[in-house]
Amino acid sequence: MSQILRRIGRAVGAAAGLVLLLAGCTHAPTPVRFFAEGRPQQLSEWRVLMREGSRLELNDRVVPYDLNTPLFSDYAHKLRTVWLPPGTTAHYSATDSFEFPVGTIISKTFYYPRAPGADAVARTYDSSRDFSGTGLDLTQVRLIETRLLVRREEGWVALPYVWNAAQTDAELARTGDELPLELVAADGEHEAFIYVVPNENQCAGCHVTNLKTRSIAPIGLKARHVNRDYLYPGGNENQLAHLTRIGYLSGAPPATDAPRNANWLNTSQPLEARARAYLDVNCGHCHSATGPANTTALSFDTGTPVDRHLGLCKPPVAAGRGTGDHLFDIVPGHPEESILPFRMASREPGVMMPEQGRGTVHREGLALIRAWIASLPGACSP
């Protein structure tokens, strides 16, 4: 009997050791998958983002990044990432989007901090509770959509995915989706609106950099937008330096020698720099010499001089109802007489600017542009 017990004890011990060994093993995540063609129906097929328990995690070598001043999208927060195939790198440009290799996948996930109520989300800029540079806490946020920008042999392809109610995966939105939501401010104010997910053509339309060739490119991954520090898991580091260090970017100068847009929310920075950064990222990709709005003769790039090219005392070009009976795009010292803030304050199709990508008015951004116009010297001749 004692021998039998000893044998049983040795067998149990060996089994326990095997369990501990297996528990100590770590399995590398399934690598990101690049599709050279086609349109996968589920976001999970790309394996860029992974649902792990109550968190949305980034896969191996998927690098998060942020912008000095982001584009406004109905107060949505955004988790931005970039992934490059092993052995490849992007090439730096001081003015344009970086040149990315075939196989690059850029993702942008739109989400809101949760608020009490079925369709209620928080209207806030505070992301401290939901995003730490490594993923999203799904107990704190509601995922809305994830847009992919994929670099294939023929060029960039834009693919929007809408998250399901269970927040387990996102499905390709071929025709666009509309989601009724309610913004809840810190003071308790409620604002109902319809969040519109763009379809593939609308996604591509915003990224068109050359109207003649219809070629599209990333908007945010430019030196002036990403030249800033970011809180990575290992600590704060300049994003240009980080991308260079990990082999994702070549040819970049030291951050002090690279262009840098202002942070529109940082009131310690000059008012004009903040306003110009806001117009650059929200309007400059369309209002440029080669963009979709080139017929307006307006340019909102940060390099545009403060004259008629920027809209000062410039009569509108075929704006129709969008003028609001105002005579000039920008009247120095008089935002109430200027077309630019009038269109920013509208939610009416055919009047509002930008024309798509929002169903609400960006109150803080509008206040910034009004304050900047009010600070401008000079006057317009009738």
Both structure tokens of 188: 């308790």
> What confidence score (pLDDT) does residue 97 get?
95
Residue 201 belongs to some domain of the structure: yes
DSSP character string of 251-306: S---GGGS-----TT-TTS-HHHHHHHHHHHHHTTTSSSSSTTGGGT---STTS-S
How large a percentage of the chain has pLDDT more than 70? 87
Mean pLDDT in residue range 228-254 = 96
Shared domain check, 243 and 162: yes
In a domain, 337, yes or no: yes
| Same domain, yes or no: 302 and 240 | no
| Stretch among 135-139, 180-184, 196-200, 288-292 having the lowest mean pLDDT | 288-292
Q: Mind listing the pLDDT tens digit for each residue in 318-372? A: 667 778 889 999 999 999 999 999 999 999 888 888 877 789 999 999 999 999 9
Q: Are residues 76 and 221 in the same domain?
A: yes
**37 Cβ neighbours under 8 A, 6+ residues apart:** 152
Note whether residue 48 is domain-resident.
yes
Same domain? For 132 and 213 the reply is: yes
pLDDT of 5 above 50: no
Boundary (domain end) residue, out of 207, 229, 250? 250
Cβ neighbors of 132 (< 8 A, separation 6 or more) are: 231
Which residue segment(s) compose the domain that 214 sits in?
Answer: 43-250
Question: For residue 382, is it within any domain?
Answer: no
Whether residue 380 is contained in a domain is answered as: no
Nearest residue to 116 (alpha-carbon basis) of 162, 192, 182: 182
Give me 95's structure tokens: 């003015």
Q: Is residue 35 part of a domain?
A: no
Structural domain ending residue among the three candidates 195, 228, 250: 250
Q: 92 and 69, same structural domain? A: yes
Q: What is the structure's pLDDT at 12?
A: 37
For residue range 64-86, what is the model confidence (pLDDT) as tens digits? 999 999 999 999 999 999 999 99
Q: How many domains does the chain have?
A: 2
| Residue pair 299/330 in contact by the 8 Å Cβ criterion | no
Query: Is 133 within a domain?
Result: yes
Please report which helix (H) or strand (E) contains residue 375, including its range: helix 363-375
For the whole model, what pTM was predicted?
0.88
Same domain assignment for residues 121 and 78: yes
The whole-number pLDDT of residue 77 equals 97
In terms of domains, do 314 and 219 share one?
no
User: Strand 208-210 to strand 170-172: parallel, antiparallel, or no bridges (unpaired)?
Assistant: unpaired
Which has the higher per-residue pLDDT, 234 or 215?
234
Pair (242, 316) in one structural domain: no
Domain-embedded: residue 34:
no
**Which residue in this structure is represented by tokens 């401010």?**
185
Q: What is the pLDDT of residue 87?
A: 97
Residue 228 and residue 307 in one domain: no
* Per-residue pLDDT at 34 exceeds 60: yes
